[in-house]
Amino acid sequence: MLVEGLVSTIIPVHNRPSLLREAVASVLAQTYRPIEIIIVDDGSTDETGREAETLVRAHSEVRAVHRENGGAGAARETGRLAAAGEYIQYLDSDDVLLPTKFQLQVAGLRQHCDCAVSYGKTRFYAYGERPTDMPWKRTGERIATMFPSFLQSRWWGTSTPLYRRNVTDLAGPWTQLRNEEDWEYDCRIARNGVQLYYCDAFVSDERVSPGHHLSAGSSNDPEKLRSRARAHQLIFEHAVASRIFHETCEMQHFARELFLLARQCGAAGLAKESRTLFELARQASGTERSRGIDFLLYGAGARLVGWRTMGSLTCSLDHLRA
């Protein structure tokens, strides 16, 4: 049941009890009410689960769900299904919200009924450092829509946007991907042509936490690359559905990204993914560009020596050029 005015904050967490406390505290410190906090314990093996239950007992706004480990996207989906709010906030356990975030962003969405997502400025810094008021990525820019700019990058952090519940319902479930699942999710929302409301204030902090970061990993990790390949394939489908044409600079940028990822997948032995991404890169480039010498030589080389060998050779050349 949807509760009007309620902001539901979904916090996936795995083995981060102290960081979880800080994330939850930042939501409880919001100047806006009503709120609810849904902690999704993603198969923690330390005291995180007990910490979540301690927070539930201490604060009536907090609920906890415990599930087997499945990654951040799957955990967010568990939280989304449990949420009752008119507005949805996703928050990673190592990040924090600034106190007036909900007050400012809910007010903006109420005043601008044509907008489905609100965002503001986000700071980025290492855990324990003192933040400076410098907008991270493009969060300091006023941008009207998510597409086509999201083809160039996911230019905000998970903590940055506040979504209307109806737009997250329309987007549907999070995927089971463990890398770039957040970028794919936002591009699925962008596919629906939503308008953005820009809040000209700092609203959240993204922090590089001690230990393993969810998006960390080597570019030659096969499991990470397999997930990234699927995410890129879905993002391309969302862009095509949104009628973003190959002539745009954003699609040309994404075509180059597809080609690079195709080479990396090939080098990691993911021949199927490499071939698929190569063909998508050609489609994204357009008819004339796809007939360029780089595509012709790479395609011919892959057919001759195989996608893995061709990927390894070209990635080695890329490293030499760098």
Q: Name the H helices within 116-221.
A: 165-171, 181-190
**Average pLDDT along the chain:** 95
pLDDT confidence bin for 64, thresholds 50/70/90: very high
Q: How far apart are CA 190 and CA 196, in angstroms?
A: 10
Q: How far apart are CA 165 and CA 135, in angstroms?
A: 26
pLDDT the model gives residue 318:
76
Which sequence spans correspond to the domains of the chain? 3-208, 222-321
CATH number 3.30.420.590 is the correct assignment for the domain at 3-208: no
Output Rg (C-alpha) for the chain, integer angstroms. Answer: 21
pLDDT confidence bin for 109, thresholds 50/70/90: very high
Using one digit for the tens of pLDDT, what is the confidence trace for 158-215?
Answer: 999 999 999 999 999 999 999 999 999 999 999 999 999 999 999 999 999 766 444 4
pLDDT the model gives residue 322:
66
Using one digit for the tens of pLDDT, what is the confidence trace for 116-164?
Answer: 999 999 999 999 999 999 999 999 999 999 999 999 999 999 999 999 9
% residues pLDDT > 90 (the chain): 94
pLDDT average, residue stretch 267-283: 98
% residues pLDDT > 70 (the chain): 97
Contact 106, 23 (CB under 8 A): no
